[in-house]
Amino acid sequence: MIFPIVAYGDPVLKKKAQRIESDHPGLDSLIAGMYETMYNAQGVGLAAPQIGRPIRLFVVDAAPFAEGEEEDAEALKAFKKTFINAEILEESGDPWSFTEGCLSIPEIREDVQRQAQIRIRYQDEEFETHEETYSGLIARVIQHEYDHIEGRLFTDKLSPLKEAVAQGTTEFHCKGKDPPGLSHEISTGQVRGFSLILLCTLLGCGQREAQEPAGPDLKASEQLYLSDPTDSALARAYAADLDRWVRAHPQDSISPYHALRSVLVMRSIPGRELEAVVALQKLSRRYAPHEVSVEAEFQTAFTWDEFIGHTEKAKEGYAEFIAAHPDHPRKETASGLLRILSEELPLEDLVEQWKKQNTETTNP
């Protein structure tokens, strides 16, 4: 059985999964279905939270990584395992970088730093306990899937700058291939292509936990929108549902985030970019000094920049944001985007500088 894969933004991906016992209902068929789902999606690993099951279970088949590898090819070909109730006991070795993607975050790939070796304790399909040590690509695949059962995603390991900017550069891939018309700049089309992922990141600058769903109706609307974020009709419906929820729950703590989400979803609809600018300015005033107010300020400049292409307005907006929020995590992103606009510095060169800086920070 092939299961639907849960998309980025679903709260199950941010929850720590629960241990299971040997009498867990339908476990054998669940494991078989997970392998089938993983192979159908051309993945090398799949965790139960990715199919909506918040349990400590993941499967790995590293054989696809064997192609092009000389030293570890045989080990990779032979590595196929089911991990139940896994616990990483130790991570060691020098951190190293490798480009990762995720079946729950399609079309986004980025370099991620992980330690080279792990020691892990887990149970197999027969609930026999094992304690083993792995290194290299095998360790990395396990670490990636283990993060899922801990409620973490590989994007959590990226700096806010890389998450917000580098995903739209030559590092941006669509199932391992460059999307049509890819250039060495962040284009409006690319921004729209990953706007939902960017939205979820920007709400908390890469630090805030995903918000819980506001109810079954809104959740259903969100899932429809997630099925095709480029569909203007779905975007309009989802934005309208968010607005209705905010009006019905004006005092709820989640309302500011839904209000901002509504505007950013609406912004992706062709012809409504200027309307989004006005709405973002209103949100900034309405929710000051809430964090959503600050994010609305940044998004106003970002909208002038990437959705409308008004360079002077964008430069003015980024500069005002930097001056008003000198200690905010988003200042780094605003400063970098302002440099691109002001100095006409090739984006790929600037991203390389940021990557080098990030590596030096990670490996002092």
Q: Is the peptide bond before 289 cis (omega within 30 degrees of 0)?
A: yes
CA distances from 160 to 21, 113, 206, 289 (A): 38, 15, 6, 21
CB under 8 Å to 260, separation ≥6 — which residues?
A: 203, 283, 292, 295, 296, 299
Radius of gyration of the chain (CA): 21
Whether the CB-CB separation of 303 and 276 falls below 8 Å is answered with: yes
Joined tokens for residue 143: 């670490």
306 is catalytic: no
Catalytic residue, from 110, 145, 163, 332: name it: 145
Q: How many Å apart are CA 38 and CA 61, to the nearest integer?
A: 9
CB under 8 Å to 1, separation ≥6 — which residues?
A: 29, 32, 33, 36, 37
- Please name the amino acid found at residue 181: G
Q: What are phi and psi of 100, to 5 degrees?
A: -120, 155
Whether the CB-CB separation of 213 and 219 falls below 8 Å is answered with: yes
Q: Secondary structure of the chain: what % helix, strand, coil (to 5)?
A: 50, 15, 30
Joined tokens for residue 190: 């690319």
Write down how long the chain is.
364
Catalytic positions, written as ranges: 145
